[in-house]
Chain A
Amino acid sequence: MNLAEGVQLVSFAILAVMMIGSALGVVLFSNIVYSAFLLAGVFVSISGIYLLLNADFVATAQILIYVGAVNVLILFAIMLVNKREDFKPLPNAWVRPTMTAIVSAGLFVLLSTMVLVTPWAYSTESVSSDTTIVLIGQHFFSDFLLPFELASVLLLMAMVGAIILARREFLPDQVITPDKQQQPVLTLPERPRELVGISSDKTSNLDDSRRSE
Chain B
Amino acid sequence: MYDFEDKFRNMQLQYFLLLAAALFCIGIYGLITSRNAVRVLMSIELLLNAVNLNLMAFSSYLDPLEIKGQVFTVFVITVAAAEAAVGLAIILAIYRNRDTVDMEQFNLLKW
Interface residues of B in 70-96 (CB under 8 A from A): 70-71, 73-75, 77-86, 88-93, 95-96
Binds B, one of A156-164, A175-183, A194-202: A156-164
Size category of the binding interface on chain A:
35 or more
Interface residues of A in 42-62 (CB under 8 A from B): 42-43, 46, 49-50, 53-55, 57-58, 61-62
Asked if A73 meets B45 with Cβ closer than 8 Å, knowing A27-B26, A49-B16, A123-B61, the reply is no
Chain B interface residue count, CB cutoff 8 Å, equals 75
Main secondary structure of the interface of B (DSSP, over half): helix
CB-CB < 8 A to B3: which residues of A?
none
Interface residues of A in 120-141 (CB under 8 A from B): 120-123, 125-128, 132, 135-136, 139-140
List residues of A whose CB falls within 8 A of some B CB: 1, 5, 9, 12, 16, 19-20, 23-24, 26-27, 32, 35-36, 39, 42-43, 46, 49-50, 53-55, 57-58, 61-62, 65-66, 69-70, 73-74, 76-78, 80-81, 83, 85, 87-88, 90, 96-97, 100-101, 103-105, 107-108, 111-112, 115-116, 120-123, 125-128, 132, 135-136, 139-140, 144, 147, 151, 154-155, 157-159, 161-166, 168-169
List residues of B whose CB falls within 8 A of some A CB: 5, 8-10, 13-19, 21-30, 32-36, 38-39, 41-43, 45-46, 49, 52-53, 56-57, 59-68, 70-71, 73-75, 77-86, 88-93, 95-96, 100-102, 104
